[in-house]
Amino acid sequence: MREKSILLLSLAVFLLAYGFLAPLAAATAPAPGDRLAVSGLIKTSTGKAVKEAEVEILVNGQPYKPGDKEGHTEILTSKQGGFVADLVLPPGTLPGAKVEVTAHKPSWKAIPPTPVQVVEAGTDAAGNRLFQASSNFTMQRAVTPAFWIATFILIAVYVIISFEWMHRTLAALLGAALLLFITYTLGVFDPGFYILSFEDAMGAIDLNVIFLLMGMMIFVGVLKKTGVFQFLAYKSYAWARGNVFVLSFVLQFITAVISAFLDNVTTMLLVIPVTIEIAVTLKVHPLNFLVPQAFASNVGGTATLIGDPPNILIGSYTGLTFGAFIVNLTLVCLVALIISCFYFLWWHRKDYAKAEVGDVNRTIAFLREEYQITNKKLMIQGLILLGFTIFLFAAHGFLHMQVSVAALVGSLLLLTISRVDIVDMLEHEVEWPSLMFFIGLFMVIAGAEETGLIQQIANGVLYFSQGKMWLAIILILWVSAIASAFIDNIPFTATMLPIVLFLSDSFGLPKDNVLWWSLSLGACLGGNGTMIGASANVVTVGMAEKAGYHIGFVEYLRRCWWPMMITVTICMVYLLLFY
């Protein structure tokens, strides 16, 4: 009796399980019908991928989505612009049905229903017929309210930064915040106001730039504690032996060399106090030394990937190596530096001739006592690890290590070995406003790129270049130089990056091409033309004024405009002759 009960109970459990699982298996079993795989690429007219475009498949005018006719799955293009959709159609629908593809995305013109050719590809194990269709499509930009809003915000940020109506970090972050705010308010109700998604805004932030700057700031913060930079200024005076012309040349040259391996803003922050003290000792107006030094810092910084912020942006955006910058820019920068040094010696010849040299040996003894190496062990540790970091920069082509990784490893090893307080470094030496400025700027530029503004500018440059490489070189170089003289060259360079990439693709150029060197030389050297063109200039003028030595915009322009024009002309000749 007991065995019978167990048998009946087992049978009941089996039937119950079958009653639940059989419908589930039937529901999940592939429905019979024709199988259609539709794939393709959506790109711009220049061949650039259009990501996150929503694709729709029409069969005899009716929309189908992966799964079934009703469907719940959107078809979105990938970062490479590709899409794939597997559809189940009623048996016998193909090959006679008309299959079309359409796509749309905010700020872009929708692709109208476009027929695709269907090809039979056999049958599957269940006997369903298989079909394939593949085609590539081109999407064009559309001028929407989002375009005008992004354009207005970009121009407003430029104007605010140029006239210093607001701190540049606040201007950039406010512009980025407004883009996102409009996207998620007006853009929710009308796709024409959709500017930039939060995900795309975060993706636009180039962390390679951020961490590279952070690492180099830590290096400078540690080395600053050793007195090495002040010691170099004392040595400059000792080498000159009281000759003011030689002193000015040496100061410019040393400033340029330091700026090639540390950023030029930091270099000027370190050398300005010492230069002022030397100038006061000689009874020479400090700006007669400082302005040439600021000019030299921008020229020297142009020679390497890490010397000037525009180069850091270019290197990170393109993947160009530290060695590529050295090979392509060092020679022309050296020539430009020598010529600009002699120009300023000629310009200030009367002021230098009036210097009161006095007792040279006594002055050297005073400076030796005042500017000593305060921590020799820390200086050696810092210079060794800085050299190791620069070696990693140079080995990028072999190791394929991002420069930010090298900078962080070197700087953090220095903190570990030297036992310098990292909290103190992060609080006092890392320029967080500058890093936040870059973050906001990246997002503002991304808004302009997503809405098509950058493409419009690039099309204009391509039109004016008339498809001629030499004309494109001249246009990029001089437009960058003149523009960078009157607006900060950092936001200008960030705006130009996608434009130069578009032009490079249009001319069929490799990654390491002359147009990038045109942009670098124009943006970096053009910033020398005015007191607001480069961050090093702004820092120099500000610190000099704080010490009681004022220089106006026109006077700075009078001193630096023509040497800027001369150095950019030298670069133009160099680019046209050697590329």
Model confidence over 526-540: pLDDT tens digits? Answer: 989 887 777 788 778
Question: How many alpha carbons lie under 13 Å from residue 278 in its C-beta half-sphere?
Answer: 33
Is the Cβ–Cβ distance between 45 and 138 less than 8 Å? yes
> What was the pLDDT predicted at 28?
46
Q: What is the pLDDT of residues 131-155, one digit of tens each?
A: 999 999 998 888 889 999 999 998 8
> Does a structural domain hold residue 214?
no
> What was the pLDDT predicted at 30?
55
> What was the pLDDT predicted at 572?
95
Please say if the pLDDT value at position 17 is more than 70: no
Query: What residues make up the domain containing 101?
Result: 34-138
Separation between Cα atoms, residue 162 and residue 517, nearest integer Å: 25
Range among 345-354, 432-441, 560-569 with highest mean pLDDT value? 560-569
> Does a structural domain hold residue 379?
no
Residues 243 and 104 in one domain: no
> Does a structural domain hold residue 203?
no
Residues 95 and 232 in one domain: no
Residues 233 and 352 in one domain: yes
Among 123, 138, 153, give the residue marking a domain's end. Answer: 138
Residues 359 and 485 in one domain: yes
> What was the pLDDT predicted at 198?
92
Residues 341 and 480 in one domain: yes
CA 378 to chain centre: 33
> Does a structural domain hold residue 219?
no
Token pair for 256:
């340029």
- For helices 514-526 and 309-318, what crossing angle results, to 10°? 160
SS (H, E, C) 320-374: CCHHHHHHHHHHHHHHHHHHHHHHHHHHCHHHHHCCCCCCHHHHHHHHHHHCCCC
Separation between Cα atoms, residue 124 and residue 136, nearest integer Å: 26
What is the domain-level CATH number for residue 51?
A: 2.60.130.10
Share of the chain above pLDDT 90, in %: 24
Among 88, 114, 138, give the residue marking a domain's end. Answer: 138
> What was the pLDDT predicted at 466?
75
Check residue 304 and report its DSSP letter. S
Residues 124 and 266 in one domain: no
Please say if the pLDDT value at position 371 is more than 50: yes
> Does a structural domain hold residue 393?
no
Q: What is the pLDDT of residues 251-266, one digit of tens each?
A: 899 899 988 887 777 7
Determine the average pLDDT of the residues in 195-199. 90
> What was the pLDDT predicted at 46?
64
Among 138, 171, 186, give the residue marking a domain's end. Answer: 138
Domain total of the chain: 2
Residues 234 and 132 in one domain: no
> Does a structural domain hold residue 201?
no
Is the Cβ–Cβ distance between 328 and 517 less than 8 Å? yes
Beta bridge partners of 85: 38
Separation between Cα atoms, residue 138 and residue 115, nearest integer Å: 14
pLDDT classification of 5: cutoffs 50, 70, 90: low
- For helices 287-301 and 264-282, what crossing angle results, to 10°? 160
7-21, 239-253, 349-363: lowest mean pLDDT where?
Answer: 7-21
> What was the pLDDT predicted at 469?
86
Spatial neighbors of 76 by CB under 8 A, at least 6 apart, are: 52, 53, 54, 55, 83
Residue type, 47: G
Residues 133 and 243 in one domain: no
> Does a structural domain hold residue 352?
yes
Query: At 114, is the secondary structure helix, strand, or coil?
Result: strand
Integer angstrom CA distances of residue 152 from 159, 164, 205, 448 = 10, 18, 21, 10
Please say if the pLDDT value at position 25 is more than 50: no
> What was the pLDDT predicted at 125?
81
Please say if the pLDDT value at position 173 is more than 70: yes
> Assign residue 329 a region: left if phi > 0, alpha if psi is -120 to 50, beta otherwise?
alpha
> What was the pLDDT predicted at 161?
76
Q: How far apart are the first and last CA of the chain?
A: 100
> Does a structural domain hold residue 498?
yes
Residues 334 and 469 in one domain: yes
Q: What is the pLDDT of residues 214-238, one digit of tens each?
A: 888 888 788 888 888 778 777 777 7
- Comparing 537 with 55, the larger pLDDT belongs to 55
Average pLDDT along the chain: 83
37-46, 219-228, 355-364, 553-562: lowest mean pLDDT where?
Answer: 355-364
